[in-house]
């Protein structure tokens, strides 16, 4: 892929495939496609600090999700973070929000730092910081919009927010800004690492651990999630179509 439009076309293909297979991986793909569309519009409007470089960053960043998806489908080796997120998509008892956050967790907490370093190459990593934050800003706006309008998909979603009060409950308290800051620290560690493969492996294990907390957030919260999942009664394909509407509305 050499252009952001090629990325969008590929994302469309993944979403169509997920719809035909009733795969919950499509939930994150729908959200991420809208992130890409929003960044493409921003590049066209010249709103980023370095618009040509932003396109390169977006392509490298998106390719990590696309490669992980295709590797999972072909049963190839992929990062533990993505393996955990994709495996969770087989479980009908996880709510839509869990699937979205599992994708965001792998993509922001692991992939974005790697993509930033690969984009700057030998240049100073700090030169990309503002546009690194801009990608997170776009994602944060969309996630907030989805949360505010997710009632159409998940009627009891607000029950989760009300009952899950513990600060250690990452599923409810997951913050894009906190993820962004951690991702930037990792980007700096990765940029300076002599053994980059080992650096990725160590980070991957940590992020996969966060994914496990999202999947199994404790007995009390898991019971609440199971009740909420029963209210997300539509088929996966129907939920994807409804989520697509919610995400596009949030994108406006």
Q: Domain tally for the chain?
A: 1
For the chain, 252 residues long, the average pLDDT of each consecutive 10-residue run is: 94 97 96 94 93 96 97 97 97 89 95 97 95 90 78 68 55 74 96 97 97 84 78 85 85 64
Q: Which residues, 6+ apart, have CB-to-CB distance to 138 below 8 Å? A: 35, 38, 39, 42
Q: Which residues, 6+ apart, have CB-to-CB distance to 45 below 8 Å? A: none
Q: Could you tell me the pTM of the whole model?
A: 0.90
| pLDDT attached to residue 167 | 46
Q: From CA 117, how far away is CA 110, in angstroms rounded? A: 12
| pLDDT attached to residue 141 | 85
Encoded tokens for 156: 């009891």
Encoded tokens for 195: 């053994």
**Residue ranges making up the domain that contains 42:** 4-251
| pLDDT attached to residue 223 | 78
| pLDDT attached to residue 158 | 65
- Residue with tokens 């009627």, as numbered in its chain: 155
| pLDDT attached to residue 104 | 94
Q: From CA 182, how far away is CA 113, in angstroms rounded? A: 9
CB 144 within 8 A of CB 220: no
């Amino acid at each position: 892929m050499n252009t952001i439009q090629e990325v969008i076309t590929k994302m469309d293909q993944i979403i169509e495939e997920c719809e035909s297979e009733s795969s919950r991986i499509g939930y994150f793909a729908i959200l991420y496609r809208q992130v890409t569309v929003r960044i493409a519009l921003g590049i066209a409007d010249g709103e980023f600090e370095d618009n040509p470089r932003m396109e390169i960053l977006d392509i490298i960043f998106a390719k990590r999700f696309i490669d992980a998806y295709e590797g999972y489908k072909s049963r190839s080796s992929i990062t533990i973070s993505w393996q955990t997120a994709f495996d969770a998509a087989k479980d009908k008892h996880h709510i839509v929000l869990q699937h979205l956050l599992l994708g965001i967790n792998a993509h922001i907490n692991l992939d974005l730092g790697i993509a930033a370093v690969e984009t700057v190459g030998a240049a100073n990593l700090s030169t990309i910081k503002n546009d690194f934050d801009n990608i997170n800003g776009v994602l944060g706006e969309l996630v907030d919009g989805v949360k505010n309008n997710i009632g159409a998909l998940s009627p009891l979603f607000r029950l989760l927010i009300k009952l899950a009060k513990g600060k250690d409950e990452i599923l409810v308290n997951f913050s894009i800004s906190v993820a962004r800051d951690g991702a930037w620290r990792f980007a700096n560690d990765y940029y300076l690492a002599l053994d980059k493969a080992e650096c990725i492996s160590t980070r991957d294990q940590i992020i996969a651990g966060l994914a496990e907390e999202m999947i199994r957030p404790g007995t009390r919260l898991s019971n609440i999630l199971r009740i909420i999942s029963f209210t997300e009664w539509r088929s996966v394909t129907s939920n994807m179509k409804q989520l697509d509407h919610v995400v596009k509305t949030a994108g406006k």
